[in-house]
Structure 1
Amino acid sequence: MSKRSLRYVNSYVFIIPSLVLTLVLGIYPILWAFRFMFYDYPGFGVPKFIGLDNFTRVLNDDQFWSSVYNTFLYAAGKIVITIPLSLILAVILNQAIKGRQLLRAIYFMPTIISASVMSVVFGIVFNSYNGILNQYLMKLGIISNPIEWLGPNYAMITVIIIAIWGAVGNYMLLFIAGLQNISDDLYEAASIDGANTVQKFWFITVPMLGPILQMIMMLVITVSLKGYENIMVLTEGGPFGKTEVMFLYVYKLFFPVSTTNANVQQIGYGSAVGFVTAIIVGIITLIYFGLSRRLNKTY
């Protein structure tokens, strides 16, 4: 074999394992689910073809549309707080302060912790009756009665706080990488022109971070819209569906948490709901890409 042919063979040898895994674990499940969107299939027996009935049911499913609303609420809360907080921490820890490497590691630590483990720990912290947080707040005299952090009034706020805690460190490091690519000459020139710290931040730091900010926004949006692991462990979508998000609803249709008549495995309907959910996420992504292109024109 020629050296050129051998090079191509070596390339395909490395590509084939990933390609096989993608086909088996990615493409095949999608095609499998796509087939059952048009069937009434509870996971056993012979699938019954019902055409577009599953999609008609989705359009009239109040529980699903409630999960869509909860997803956008969850994503908005996470995005609005996570990005500014990550940027502020990045600016602070990009300075020549003592122990900054240790602080960066501490803030990044939640990123490498399993979502399930993290949720179990926070379940202990936010427990309504003997949780650590309520105990400290009562000892300090801030509250007189335990707060139901995972109750109807505060459950969504609680899961958003936990999601922010787990995400800030990751995006902080990305912002730090962006800050380190900004030339010090720009800040020196601004100082000569009489610019103060706030003006340097708004007119140099923020515009120069434009590309990295777009990438982080894309990551936060997609992760927030798809996230459900910590909610599943903490509340299972409760109480009363207050924290049930789209992908958790889809998960419950495929893997019901109980075997009651009201909560049985529905693979056919779950496939249809998953397809509609993917469309919703895709539309949001396309809208962001459109806005991102307009933002590029300003730089």
Structure 2
Amino acid sequence: MGLMKQWRINAAGAFFTMPSLLLTLVFTVYPIFWVFRYMFYDYKGYGTPRFIGLDNFRTLLSDHLLWDSVVNTFVYAGGKLVVTLPLALILAVILNRALKGRQLLRAIFFLPTIISSAVIAVVFFIVFNSYNGILNQFLIKLGIASEGVEWLGPKYAMLTVILIAIWGAVGNYMILFIAGLQNIPNDINESAELDGAGVVQKFWYITVPMLGPVLQMVIMLAIINSLKSYESIMVLTDGGPIGKTEVMFLYLYRLLFPTPSASSVLEQQIGYGSAVGFVTALIVGVVTALYFYLSRKLNRVM
């Protein structure tokens, strides 16, 4: 009877996990093997794939569009992270206090997280439009600017998309930091106050060290999300102007799903796109592994 009961429990568990397992196999495992196959082929989505060995990888080594997009990705990710994470932590510390209306403020800062990135990009396109954008009209009326600033032009496009990314991400990381702060016992901060510790000293010597595990997780998520982000850029600038905001996953998207507006890619290139996808995934993996290594070294030192 005991064996029969255990078999039923195992069967029930297998039954409930089977849908998730099937979805993982279909949408995760199979595409990985699919990419590994076609990155050695010349295949444009029609006709018979032609095996070409490592030619796709030789091509990408001299593909300046790809490597320019990699540089843009690191500029975008670095600019986003260096502002978003400190700002999210400061907001979390402030809104973790017993302030009046803190729940409303938390909701306001978190609201951009639940809005589609495409919708956000459309709204900010209206705000930053060079000719009749809301921001330019506001600056001209105040006398700060005599004519419209090209916020989406070659000079300011990357700065603009970084600012929009910060606005959209800071609330998400703020909530994660608040969750970590609430696990820090109040007794420790009260003891530090009795010993004469100030706000900055408590933050640096108590809050940050005790928030270490959460901080490591948030930084890892922020790095991966920043390197993989492209949706809002695609809607806002389409990688332009003249490739100034072309990031590597947007370039990959163009290769696999070309559109009439994508001037840098004229036809679908599944074989070459698979090779580029492998390289971009490898770049993200190397950056993540390097971060894990440095964080472990830092933990040992501390």
Q: TM-score, normalised by structure 1?
A: 0.97
Do residues 267 (structure 1) and 270 (structure 2) align?
yes
> C-alpha separation between the residues in 2 aligned to 1:141 and 1:202?
42
Q: State the match for 2:65 in structure 1.
A: 63
Q: By how many angstroms is 1:262 displaced?
A: 5.2
SS in 1 for 2:47: coil
Render the CA deviation track for 1:6-32: whole Å, top value 9, x for unaligned.
110111111100010111111111211
Sort the Cα spacing of 1:260 and 1:106 in 2 relative to 1 into closer, same or farther, 3 A: closer
> C-alpha separation between the residues in 2 aligned to 1:71 and 1:263?
22
> C-alpha separation between the residues in 2 aligned to 1:265 and 1:13?
40
Sort the Cα spacing of 1:260 and 1:67 in 2 relative to 1 into closer, same or farther, 3 A: closer
Q: State the match for 1:239 in structure 2.
A: 241
Q: State the match for 1:11 in structure 2.
A: 13
> C-alpha separation between the residues in 1 aligned to 2:301 and 2:159?
35
> C-alpha separation between the residues in 2 aligned to 1:102 and 1:172?
14
Q: Which amino acid aligns with 1:274?
A: G
Structure 2 unaligned residues grouped into runs of 5+: none
Sort the Cα spacing of 1:206 and 1:260 in 2 relative to 1 into closer, same or farther, 3 A: closer
Q: State the match for 1:285 in structure 2.
A: 288
> C-alpha separation between the residues in 1 aligned to 2:38 and 2:155?
38
Q: By how many angstroms is 1:245 displaced?
A: 0.5
> C-alpha separation between the residues in 2 aligned to 1:107 and 1:66?
33
Do residues 107 (structure 1) and 109 (structure 2) align?
yes
SS in 2 for 1:218: helix
> C-alpha separation between the residues in 1 aligned to 2:243 and 2:264?
18
Q: State the match for 2:183 in structure 1.
A: 181
Render the CA deviation track for 1:210-257: whole Å, top value 9, x for unaligned.
111000000000000000000010111111010000100000001112
> C-alpha separation between the residues in 1 aligned to 2:93 and 2:190?
17
Sort the Cα spacing of 1:107 and 1:260 in 2 relative to 1 into closer, same or farther, 3 A: closer
Structure 1 unaligned residues grouped into runs of 5+: none
Q: By how many angstroms is 1:295 displaced?
A: 2.4
What pairs up with 1:203-214 in 2 under 5 angstroms?
Answer: 203-214=205-216
> C-alpha separation between the residues in 1 aligned to 2:188 and 2:280?
45
Sort the Cα spacing of 1:212 and 1:260 in 2 relative to 1 into closer, same or farther, 3 A: closer
Q: Figure out how many residues of one structure are paired with residues of the other and give that number.
A: 299
Do residues 158 (structure 1) and 160 (structure 2) align?
yes
> C-alpha separation between the residues in 1 aligned to 2:88 and 2:99?
17
Q: By how many angstroms is 1:297 displaced?
A: 2.1
> C-alpha separation between the residues in 1 aligned to 2:48 and 2:146?
58
Sort the Cα spacing of 1:45 and 1:105 in 2 relative to 1 into closer, same or farther, 3 A: same
Q: By how many angstroms is 1:298 displaced?
A: 4.1
Q: Cα RMSD over matched residues?
A: 1.3
Q: State the match for 1:81 in structure 2.
A: 83
> C-alpha separation between the residues in 1 aligned to 2:263 and 2:253?
16
> C-alpha separation between the residues in 2 aligned to 1:261 and 1:220?
29
SS in 1 for 2:246: coil
> C-alpha separation between the residues in 1 aligned to 2:149 and 2:92?
33
Q: Which amino acid aligns with 1:285?
A: T
What pairs up with 1:122-133 in 2 under 5 angstroms?
Answer: 122-133=124-135
Q: State the match for 1:222 in structure 2.
A: 224
Q: By how many angstroms is 1:192 displaced?
A: 1.6
Q: TM-score, normalised by structure 2?
A: 0.96
> C-alpha separation between the residues in 2 aligned to 1:15 and 1:166?
34
> C-alpha separation between the residues in 2 aligned to 1:292 and 1:4?
43
Which 10-residue stretch deviates more, 32-41 or 257-266? 257-266
> C-alpha separation between the residues in 2 aligned to 1:74 and 1:198?
30
Q: State the match for 1:93 in structure 2.
A: 95
Which 10-residue stretch deviates more, 256-265 or 199-208? 256-265
Q: By how many angstroms is 1:148 displaced?
A: 0.7
> C-alpha separation between the residues in 1 aligned to 2:263 and 2:107?
46
